[in-house]
């Protein structure tokens, strides 16, 4: 999370110079104005790069499970009439996640210093997504914090289950691919070199297929550092590209291309968009603001970019259904459901139905994907292993024919 230096003036005329963690510059401005300070200057501090900046999976994050548990028990404590600060302290003491514990302590310090709950949570955008923070603001200002927390918990619980289905569908082919790579690598590294010694002792010319397999084996055994360097360099290059908006959009767009997997990811993102839009509009946020936040929280940047024109269209007087129709991401049945919801004033109910519709579609896609993976894997592994075995026996057959001819 970025650090910002700021210079501000108190009503008494005293000048303050300090720094603060925040999601962006506007969050810092809101925080300072909320404290009654006159902003003189704000500048972002440049933190030194860490290893986790280059290798994303090393970056520590608060898990969705921790956030889900926190939201559930926060709502229970608020309903019981326990003050917010005391509730946060109880939850800080209970959590086992050191990163989350530190964040909850930081939230308490900000609230104690006079910050609103919304701005205190703004300090940790990686943990609390925009729709979460915005609903907290609505709940805080309207005095319906408990209702908002319950709504957040229900939405998070539903989104977690949906995400689990999609990730489960992605993990299975990844594991299968790793097994296939391991089997082929085992043959190339440990088995092929033994055959190479036999061929060398006879001085026989190798067939093209055998020479190709032997070349791959030699590369793995004797020049493994080239492969390791290529993988590491490629990984770092990909990480650097992925950290840019253009790179992320490019990668996310390519993910949508493969059959079965692409539609699965698209449906997951649209289901998440419908759920967030439903939750935000039920919370009392204006339609345009709800749309902005629902789009902003979408995980796939290519789909997020495709939906970016929806908000201006709606603000210009278009209906949501008509604006979504131009994006060409949703089937006509779903668009008709949203249009009916707008016309009858039952948009939330229709959005909920859309979410359920996509959940069924995701279940169907996952079933199709899992049913295809096993035969594809067996075919791929059979072809790979068969090619290696045939390539090793071709010289043996050739040598046998040579020996027979001499007789």
pLDDT tens digit sequence for 323-340: 888 888 888 888 888 899
CATH number at residue 121: 1.20.81.30
* pLDDT score for 89: 92
* pLDDT score for 74: 93
Average pLDDT, the chain: 82
Separation CA 24–CA 393 (nearest Å): 64
* pLDDT score for 6: 79
Separation CA 94–CA 87 (nearest Å): 11
The mean per-residue pLDDT over the stretch 379-389 comes to 84
* Judgement on whether residues 123 and 260 belong to the same structural domain of the protein: no
Asked if 22 and 1 count as a contact pair (C-beta separation under 8 A), the reply is yes
Separation CA 43–CA 26 (nearest Å): 12
pLDDT band at 204 (very low <50, low <70, confident <90, very high): low
Residue 407 has pLDDT above 80, yes or no: no
14: domain range? 3-48
* Judgement on whether residues 288 and 217 belong to the same structural domain of the protein: yes
pLDDT band at 46 (very low <50, low <70, confident <90, very high): low
* pLDDT score for 15: 83
Residue at which a domain ends, from 128, 158, 188: 158
* Judgement on whether residues 169 and 80 belong to the same structural domain of the protein: no
The mean per-residue pLDDT over the stretch 267-273 comes to 85
* Judgement on whether residues 207 and 239 belong to the same structural domain of the protein: yes
Separation CA 328–CA 335 (nearest Å): 10
* Judgement on whether residues 283 and 370 belong to the same structural domain of the protein: yes
CATH number at residue 41: 3.10.20
Residue at which a domain ends, from 104, 130, 158: 158
Tell me how many domains the chain contains. Answer: 3
Write the pLDDT tens digit of every residue in 86-143: 999 999 998 888 899 999 998 898 888 777 788 888 888 888 887 788 788 878 877 7
* Judgement on whether residues 211 and 165 belong to the same structural domain of the protein: yes
* pLDDT score for 258: 85
Q: How is residue 391 written in tokens? A: 């390539």
Asked if 155 and 281 count as a contact pair (C-beta separation under 8 A), the reply is no
* Judgement on whether residues 165 and 151 belong to the same structural domain of the protein: no
Write the pLDDT tens digit of every residue in 116-130: 788 888 888 888 887
Residue 399 has pLDDT above 90, yes or no: no
What percent of the chain stands above pLDDT 70?
A: 91
* Judgement on whether residues 77 and 128 belong to the same structural domain of the protein: yes
Separation CA 303–CA 262 (nearest Å): 11
* Judgement on whether residues 25 and 76 belong to the same structural domain of the protein: no
* Judgement on whether residues 154 and 228 belong to the same structural domain of the protein: no
pLDDT band at 52 (very low <50, low <70, confident <90, very high): very low
* pLDDT score for 72: 92
Separation CA 28–CA 111 (nearest Å): 15
Residue at which a domain ends, from 119, 134, 158: 158
* Judgement on whether residues 183 and 318 belong to the same structural domain of the protein: yes
* Judgement on whether residues 90 and 116 belong to the same structural domain of the protein: yes
């Amino acid at each position: 999370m970025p650090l910002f230096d700021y210079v501000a003036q108190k009503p008494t005329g005293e000048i303050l110079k300090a720094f603060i963690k925040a999601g962006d510059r506007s969050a810092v401005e809101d925080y300072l104005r909320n404290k009654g300070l006159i902003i003189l200057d704000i500048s972002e501090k440049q933190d030194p790069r860490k290893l986790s900046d280059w290798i994303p999976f090393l970056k520590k994050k608060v898990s969705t499970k921790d956030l889900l548990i926190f939201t559930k028990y926060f709502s229970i404590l608020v309903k019981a009439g326990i003050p917010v600060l005391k509730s946060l302290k109880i939850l800080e003491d209970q959590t086992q996640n050191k990163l989350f514990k530190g964040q909850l302590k930081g939230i308490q310090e900000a609230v104690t210093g006079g910050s609103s709950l919304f701005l205190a949570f703004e300090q940790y955008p990686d943990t609390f997504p925009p729709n979460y923070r915005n609903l907290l603001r609505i709940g805080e200002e309207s005095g319906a914090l408990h209702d908002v927390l319950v709504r957040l918990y229900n939405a998070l619980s539903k989104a977690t289950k949906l995400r689990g289905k999609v990730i489960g569908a992605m993990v299975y082919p990844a594991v299968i691919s790793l097994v296939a790579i391991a089997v082929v690598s085992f043959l190339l590294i440990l088995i092929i070199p033994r055959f190479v010694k036999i061929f060398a002792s006879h001085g026989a010319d190798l067939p093209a297929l055998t020479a190709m397999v032997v070349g791959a084996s030699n590369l793995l055994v004797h020049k493994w550092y080239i492969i390791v360097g290529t993988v590491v360099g490629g990984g770092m290059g990909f990480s650097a590209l992925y950290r840019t908006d253009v790179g992320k959009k490019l990668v996310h767009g390519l993910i949508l291309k493969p059959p079965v997997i692409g539609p699965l990811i698209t449906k997951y993102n649209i289901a998440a968009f419908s759920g967030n839009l439903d939750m935000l509009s039920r919370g009392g946020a204006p339609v345009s603001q709800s749309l902005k936040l629902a789009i902003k929280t979408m995980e796939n940047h290519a789909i997020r970019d495709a939906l970016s024109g929806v908000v201006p269209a709606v603000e210009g007087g278009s209906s949501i259904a008509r604006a979504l129709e131009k994006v060409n991401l949703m089937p006509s049945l779903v668009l008709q459901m949203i249009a009916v919801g707008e016309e009858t004033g039952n948009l939330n109910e229709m959005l909920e139905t859309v979410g359920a519709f996509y959940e069924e579609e995701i279940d169907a896609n996952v079933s199709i994907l899992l049913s295809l993976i096993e035969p594809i894997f067996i075919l791929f592994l059979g072809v790979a292993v068969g090619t290696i075995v045939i390539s090793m026996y071709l010289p043996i057959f050739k040598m046998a024919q040579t020996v027979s001819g001499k007789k």
